[in-house]
Amino acid sequence: MKHIVYKACWDYEKEERWLNDMAAKGLALSDYTWCRYAFTETPRGQYLYRIELLENMPSHPESQAYLRFLEESGVEVVTSYMRWVYLRRNAADGPFDIYTDIDSKIQHYKRIRAFWNVMTAVEWSSGACNLAVGIANLEVNGRLGNFTNGNFVIGVCLLVLGFLFFFLGLPIRRKIRALKKQQTITE
């Protein structure tokens, strides 16, 4: 039987824990699209899940080679969304860790940080452009159109969204600093 759950996740590690909790209840992820998870019933605790942000799209040759390597290692690619891939392995095969050394963890977190930085920059620049158009329209007495108030509202909303993305990226920035500190101590 198929189960659909609508849920927004901003922290991939919490999302991983949730997917593993669902698998422990006998629900295995079968598909994902934006905020929509599809599960099928399986024996309880059959799978362990990991989520990874690839360097390139899953269709890119480097990503394809990497995903084939994972599949040869007993890891199943369940689904992908943009550059995110949802991976699982049979729990009977033991622990499932993609990143076993500090350098690879740092590189993964840097990819996620870059994602949040791009999202932040896009929202801030779009918001600033909308505000600039609104201000310019006030200066020329509305000759650019009559959407000045709309430009201000949209501009402010985009700036706020940019701040949201900035704050969503803060835990990743902290993790990178902590891992670099740990790396310095262990070397």
Amino acid at 126: S
pLDDT at 143 over 80: no
Tokens of 58: 């899953």
State residue 100's pLDDT score: 85
For the stretch 98-118, pLDDT in tens is 888 999 999 999 999 999 999
Q: Which residues contact residue 70 at a Cβ distance below 8 angstroms, ignoring those fewer than 6 apart?
A: 77, 87
- 152 close to 96: Cβ distance less than 8 angstroms: no
For the stretch 16-57, pLDDT in tens is 999 999 999 999 999 999 999 999 999 999 999 999 999 999
- 30 close to 40: Cβ distance less than 8 angstroms: yes
CA distance 120 to 167: 9
State residue 144's pLDDT score: 66
State residue 141's pLDDT score: 73
Tokens of 179: 């891992």
The pTM score is: 0.84
CA distance 187 to 184: 5
> What's phi and psi for 148, nearest 5 deg?
-55, -50
pLDDT band per the 50, 70, 90 thresholds, residue 163: very high
Give the H or E element holding residue 61. Answer: helix 61-72
State residue 184's pLDDT score: 86
For the stretch 53-77, pLDDT in tens is 999 999 999 999 999 999 999 999 9
Q: Which residues contact residue 91 at a Cβ distance below 8 angstroms, ignoring those fewer than 6 apart?
A: 23, 45, 46, 47, 48
Q: Check residues 177 and 100 and name the one with the higher pLDDT.
A: 177
CA distance 167 to 178: 17
Q: Percent of the chain, pLDDT > 90?
A: 82
